[in-house]
Amino acid sequence: MDEIRLVMPDESYREQIWEYRARFMETKEDSGGCGSLLDCDTFEEWLSQTLAMSDPATCPEGFVPADCYLAVRNADNRLVGMIDMRHHIDHPVLGTWGGHIGYSVHPDERRKGYATRMLEMDLENARRLGISRVLVTCSEGNTASEKTILKNGGVYENSVPVEDRMVKRFWIEL
């Protein structure tokens, strides 16, 4: 796996972020770790919402503050994934099945170890926020995500029903 870094989204990644969105729209997959990327009509709308979420003073009511990071490959500055770090999970959805961290890897960049490294790096962000126990979840049957969580120290707690699926809950002690 090539080395990656986590960076805050900005205008310089506009084309890559919108291409990332298009790939998820094509595959009709959940783009976890991207905030409202699939719901926004423009890059500007998405970036504005993402930046507002990161500040407790501007985070919309009913949401919790969250930092969105782009996982960028060092060798070619290519966007390979996105990951969110929610500042807390004192929220009915996040505390039950959403968790502290959500992530996705570009469909063309999977099975290269990026998700494992992204989660490892985002756990450092959790430490900086003072979080000592992190909830990370995945849908039952999402073997790749489950392996990513386990490689980062996840301990299975239980599964909970969410709409038409079951979601597995894992805790990572920091």
pLDDT of the residue at 88: 96
pLDDT of the residue at 24: 85
End-to-end CA distance of the chain: 25
Q: Which helix (H) or strand (E) holds 145?
A: helix 143-151
Question: Which residues on adjacent β-strands are paired with residue 162?
Answer: 165
Task: State the angle between helix axes of 143-151 and 114-128 in degrees (0 to 180), rounded to the nearest 10.
Answer: 50
CA distance 104 to 13: 16
Residues of the chain with pLDDT under 50: none
Amino acid in position 62:
G
* Cβ contact 153:117 at 8 Å: no
pLDDT of the residue at 120: 98
DSSP 22-82: HHHHHHT---TTSTTTTT-SSHHHHHHHHHHHTSTTTSPTTS--EEEEEEEETTTTEEEEE
CA distance 149 to 116: 7
Q: Is 102 helix (H, G, I), strand (E, B) or coil?
A: strand
CA distance 98 to 83: 13
* Cβ contact 89:64 at 8 Å: yes
CA distance 125 to 65: 13
Of 80, 4, 79, 69, nearest to 35 (Cα)?
A: 69
pTM above 0.75, yes or no: yes
